[in-house]
Amino acid sequence: MIRVAARERDRGAVLVEFAGLFPLILVMVGVIWQCIVIGYTFSLAGNAADEAARAAAAADGDPGAACASAAREHLPSAWSADISCPLSGNVRQARVALRVPVLFPGAINLPITITGTAGAAEEG
């Protein structure tokens, strides 16, 4: 009777297990990356709204144009934004709505809109 060592019976098992798990690893990396992109979009929306509200509150001329210009200046061009700067009492508010891209900006967007809001007291 010929005995086969245990090491020889398991030969190639690691390769088969890795080949089976590799697609799952790729999916998990994609999901984690998408979560990072969503978090970055939150950060961009909040910062752009904050800068837009400050610029609109301190504007000498047209506060709406100053608001939109400041918001777009602080956003990468790949993110599509909807910017509004209404006046509520004596507070200039800024709302920046960004669409969340799928995996990387510039391609397609998820059906999710993230809105950043900020306000600043009118100075003039």
CATH number of the domain bearing residue 41:
3.30.1300
Which amino acid is residue 13, in one-letter code?
A: A
For residue 100, what pLDDT band results from cuts at 50, 70 and 90?
A: confident
pLDDT, tens digit (0-9, with 9 covering 90-100), for 15-62: 778 888 899 999 999 999 999 989 999 999 999 999 999 888 888 888
Domain that holds residue 57: 5-121
* pTM for the whole structure: 0.78
Which segments of 5-57 are extended strands (E)? Answer: none
CA 71 to chain centre: 15
Domain total of the chain: 1
Tell me the C-alpha distance between 32 and 39, whole Å: 11
